[in-house]
Structure 1
Amino acid sequence: MKLGLFSVTLRYLVLTACTLLLGGVESPSFADGTTDGIKIVGVTKPAHDVKLGFPIDGVIAEIYVSEGDRVEKGQPLARLDDELQKLETEKRKVIWQDRSKLISEEHKLKIINSLLTSARKLYRDSGAVSAEEVKKLEIQQANVSGSLDTLKSNKKKEQLEYEIARAILDKHVLKSPIDGVVTEVHVDRGEWIRTGTTAIRVVDRSKVFLEMNVEESLARRLRVGSQLDIHSGEMVLKSKGKVVYVSPVADRASSLVRVKVVFENNGEMIPGKTAFVLIPSE
């Protein structure tokens, strides 16, 4: 009996704590004393919040941005020391573009083909050229043709090696994957940085998610695509929110259902703050 009472009490405490921390539910009274619906509180988060690092180890050579700078997708943010990789890439390019041997073999094959055609005609028409001489020319043709095929294959490999070197060179530059604002810079020039270490954080707050945890009975009344007013304090934001996700399962500990609402942010909301929506009372 005591164990059952303890279990019920614990479940109530967990449910209450999660409601307060992750999103609350209440029936608000406004200045005029009216109750417009059930208030569901949640936390706002930027739709895009990326922590960026280099995919290779290296020494920071340049930092192109500062905290607070607006950046565009694809804009360089920082660069690793890349002098050695530049030289390697240039070397691979020179090797790939060197076609002197290929041109020489193509010219040699053209001459041998011409000689072989003439020799075959002389052998067939007058016997002025022996069969052995024709055979030697055919062997030369096969050798040069094989050498030419090898050179062409090597050129393809050299092109791939150049493209790999160029791709590695590109990895020395950290670029923003989104339009947004630089909110954190964790590195300095001359600093060694390891693969995957966060160097710069970029946030796009033009679109914001409101994440809420609601009781199952309320979650059943929300549908993906539904539009709701977003409230911040006593202010109603200009852009309506759109329900984009209603979890198909409830949290085991709290029995609450996770709901996400997205809305366009015209500078009215600083992500990280709480906001709420109202669901009409039945």
Structure 2
Amino acid sequence: MTRRFKIVLFLIIPVLIITSGVILYLLAGRTAETEVSAEDVQPSIVEVEVLTKRDGIEISGNIEPVASADLAFPIAGYIEKILVSAGDKVSSGETVAILEDSQQRFNLAEVDVEIDTELVSGTQRNLELLDLKRQMKATELEDTRLKSTISGVVTEVYADTGDFVTAQQAGSASDVIVRVIDRSSMMALVEVDELDAPYLSPGQRVEFQFDAYPDLSVSGKVSMIPMEARVTSQGIAVLDTEVVIENPPSEILPFFTFSGEI
């Protein structure tokens, strides 16, 4: 073995040893890093909100006319004429009954005579007072004409010609002469649980099923949602929601029982 070869070999061996050590160190560090990374990785939890289709809001009640009028005379007297019968259509302002009015016509004519006399030899002040008096007597004569306050259909006539009627009193049904309803639209107030309040909106579609006609489906809508809830005797908060049917079928009569879904 020559001297030059020994020198080269002497230089190569340390280099190989050092290189091997570096490689082993790097491999060991990479393996440890991989192990630590695997331990540090934690599974992430993702919350997924599942939205399901909500069933409709079930309702029930009795349907009634949006507008109705129980007509009664504001003064007492004997009925001279009944001008309508059950089933007749009437317009707002149409006369449906008349009281005997001879006393009212006499009172008005008497005031007219007083005014004529005062025009000849009276004062302006007296004429003004007589004019007010005449307006009052004319109103009394007008009160002998019972007029419908709405357009609709006569459903009941409670009196006959010749009957004596007393002046209308608040809350007295006995004074009612004629009942008129407007059947062009019907409505109902239905209880909606407070838990269903977020699912209510004006104009929302409503499907009605009537006990009298189970095969007849009628559509309507939510017409009014109250500004505050009501607590029932069971302690449950409910919304008295108004639902309406426009132009209901002729088969559907006021106060029919229904069930439905909003």
Note the C-alpha offset of 1:234: 4.0
Per-residue Cα deviation, 1:50-83 (whole angstroms, up to 9, x for no partner): 1111111111111101111110000111111110
Q: Which residue of 1 aligns with 2:62?
A: 43
Note the C-alpha offset of 1:241: 1.8
1:74 corresponds to which letter in structure 2?
A: G
Q: Which residue of 2 aligns with 1:112?
A: none
How many angstroms apart in 1 are the aligned matches of 2:247 and 2:231?
A: 29
Note the C-alpha offset of 1:194: 1.0
**TM-score, normalized by length of structure 2?**
0.68
Alignment of 1:46-195 (within 5 A): 46-98=65-117, 99-102=119-122, 151-195=123-167
Q: Is the 8 A contact 1:71 1:181 kept in 2?
A: yes
Note the C-alpha offset of 1:41: 1.9
Q: Which residue of 1 aligns with 2:254?
A: 271
1:270 corresponds to which letter in structure 2?
A: L
Task: Choose the corresponding residue for 1:242, options 183, 198, 222.
Answer: 222
Q: Structure 1: 5+ residue runs without aligned partners?
A: 1-34, 103-150
Per-residue Cα deviation, 1:18-53 (whole angstroms, up to 9, x for no partner): xxxxxxxxxxxxxxxxx9634322221101121111
Hey, which bits of structure 1, 4+ residues long, moved more than 6 A?
none
Q: Is the 8 A contact 1:210 1:275 kept in 2?
A: no
Q: Secondary structure at 2:240's aligned position in 1? A: strand
How many angstroms apart in 2 are the aligned matches of 1:183 and 1:173?
A: 19
Q: Is the 8 A contact 1:222 1:243 kept in 2?
A: no
Q: Does 2:178 correspond to 1:205?
A: no
Q: Compared with structure 1, are the counterparts of its residues 203 and 170 closer, same or farther at alpha carbon in structure 2 (3 Å cutoff)?
A: same
Identity of aligned residues (%): 29
1:213 corresponds to which letter in structure 2?
A: E
Note the C-alpha offset of 1:204: 0.7
Note the C-alpha offset of 1:248: 1.0
Which of the two has higher C-alpha Rg?
A: 2
Name whichever structure is richer in helix by fraction: 1
Note the C-alpha offset of 1:272: 1.1
Note the C-alpha offset of 1:259: 1.1
Which shifted more, 208-217 or 172-181? 208-217
**TM-score, normalized by length of structure 1?**
0.63
Q: Compared with structure 1, are the counterparts of its residues 249 and 242 closer, same or farther at alpha carbon in structure 2 (3 Å cutoff)?
A: closer
Task: Choose the corresponding residue for 1:226, options 203, 218, 221.
Answer: 203
Q: Secondary structure at 1:230's aligned position in 2? A: strand
**More relative contact order, 1 or 2 (CA 8 Å, 6+ apart):** 1
Q: Is the 8 A contact 1:247 1:258 kept in 2?
A: no
Q: Secondary structure at 2:135's aligned position in 1? A: helix
Per-residue Cα deviation, 1:156-204 (whole angstroms, up to 9, x for no partner): 0000000000001111111000001111111111111111211111111
How many angstroms apart in 2 are the aligned matches of 1:220 and 1:194?
A: 51
Q: Compared with structure 1, are the counterparts of its residues 272 and 229 closer, same or farther at alpha carbon in structure 2 (3 Å cutoff)?
A: same
Q: Is the 8 A contact 1:36 1:278 kept in 2?
A: no
Which shifted more, 228-237 or 43-52? 228-237
Which shifted more, 90-99 or 158-167? 90-99
How many angstroms apart in 1 are the aligned matches of 2:200 and 2:109?
A: 59
Q: Which residue of 2 aligns with 1:111?
A: none
User: What is the CA RMSD across the aligned residues, in angstroms?
Assistant: 2.1
How many angstroms apart in 2 are the aligned matches of 1:90 and 1:221?
A: 65
Q: Which residue of 1 aligns with 2:241?
A: 259
Q: How many correspondences in the alignment?
A: 195
Q: Is the 8 A contact 1:228 1:277 kept in 2?
A: no
Note the C-alpha offset of 1:247: 5.7
Per-residue Cα deviation, 1:5-29 (whole angstroms, up to 9, x for no partner): xxxxxxxxxxxxxxxxxxxxxxxxx
Q: Secondary structure at 1:168's aligned position in 2? A: helix
